[in-house]
Amino acid sequence: MKIGLIGLGNIGQHFATRLLAAGHPLVVYDTRDEAMQRFGALGAELAKDTVDLASRAEVVFLSLPLPSVVEEVATGPHGVSQGSSVRIVVDLSTTGPSVSNVIARKLADRHIQFLGAPVSGGTVAAEKGTLTVMAAGPMEAFETVEPWLRVIGKNIFYLGSGAGLGQTMKIINNTLCAVGMVASCEALVFGVKAGLDSAMMLDILNVSSGRSFATLEKIPQCILHRDFPMRFTTELIHKDVKLCIEEAEKLGVPMIVSPAARAFLSFAITQGDGGKDYAHTIEHFEKWARVQFGSTSETSGE
């Protein structure tokens, strides 16, 4: 069975690399010619557009940045649903449950199964194949694609038949990530201002009850040494928090803390951080406090 992948960006490129390295025949499509040529050289079959790809592959994976893009690519007039071969569409993007449910209904009208399978772990985990995958949709579709999911991920979860269940879990996860990051940044900057050592604060937090993904991984890897590698943009994590708050509102669930994180991320975007990795948002707290967390010479544990 031939598979296709649409989207060769920060995450999608690692999916393509791992699937090809594992020996799976792969058809790819991306709007960027340089990405297409790169994977063509690695042995991927190049599609001329999304319909062409879906006419060559029975299973189509999507790795795209925005819900509107995913919906258009999956079900638009020139989208995957118009392909002659596709039988299963697997969305690895983050869209929120409402969009997944709409896509699933539209694809079902064309006798195409849909699996919402967002991933978590970022570019590092994508490269290593250690992502968490939160899949939901028809069990038959999940069982069909699970071997390929295990090429790109380590922790594979099936949440049920509802197309949006994986997306709900993903936006909950990313919202908790964002809230933890914003809270950690403001607290750590306060610590520096009070005279505490940056690395030692992380060492203590990470064996204490205040630890989180932010203190365990994001801040040590991306901020402590002031290198700020590009892994996940501020505008994308803001999008996920916004989705979570909106979906909670639809169900009548109040959120108090998450909107504060969203507001701060919105502010950061207005200051030019939208296209930067969200680690850069700590710089606003530093500016206000007139201190800097970490340095290029700091080493954790010293």
How confident is the model over 220-276, as pLDDT tens digits? 999 999 999 999 999 999 999 999 999 999 999 999 999 999 999 999 999 999 999
Q: What percent of the chain has pLDDT over 90?
A: 96
pLDDT bin (cut points 50, 70, 90) of residue 301 is very low
pLDDT bin (cut points 50, 70, 90) of residue 141 is very high
* CB-count exposure of residue 270 (10 Å: 0-12, 13-18, 19+): exposed
Q: Which residues pair with 135 in a beta bridge?
A: 158
pLDDT bin (cut points 50, 70, 90) of residue 1 is confident
**pLDDT value of residue 297:** 65
Is residue 298 pLDDT above 60, yes or no?
no
pTM of the model: 0.91
The CA R_g of the chain, rounded to the nearest whole Å, is 20
Q: Residue holding tokens 């914003």?
A: 182
- The 10 Å Cβ neighbour count of residue 78 is 11
Mean predicted confidence (pLDDT) in 71-100: 97
Mean predicted confidence (pLDDT) in 209-223: 97
Closest CA to 30 of 15, 42, 47: 47
Looking at 48, 154, 170, 193, which residue is catalytic? 170
Question: What three-state secondary structure class fits 129?
Answer: coil
DSSP string, 173-208: HHHHHHHHHHHHHHHHHHHHHTT--HHHHHHHHTTS
The yes-or-no answer on residue 170 being catalytic is yes
**pLDDT value of residue 140:** 97
CATH number for the segment(s) 3-163: 3.40.50.720
CB 91 within 8 A of CB 74: yes
Mean predicted confidence (pLDDT) in 20-47: 97
Is residue 300 pLDDT above 80, yes or no?
no
Is residue 302 pLDDT above 80, yes or no?
no
167-289 folds as N-(1-d-carboxylethyl)-l-norvaline Dehydrogenase; domain 2 (1.10.1040)
**pLDDT value of residue 122:** 86
Domain ranges, ordered by start, for the chain: 3-163, 167-289
Residue 281 is given by DSSP the state: G
Q: For residues 31-52, b (16+ Cβ closer than 10 Å) or e, as one string?
A: eeeebbebbeeeebbebeebbb
Q: Name the H helices within 194-257.
A: 198-205, 213, 219-222, 234-250
Question: What three-state secondary structure class fits 295?
Answer: coil
- Which of 300 and 45 is assigned the larger pLDDT? 45
pLDDT bin (cut points 50, 70, 90) of residue 296 is confident
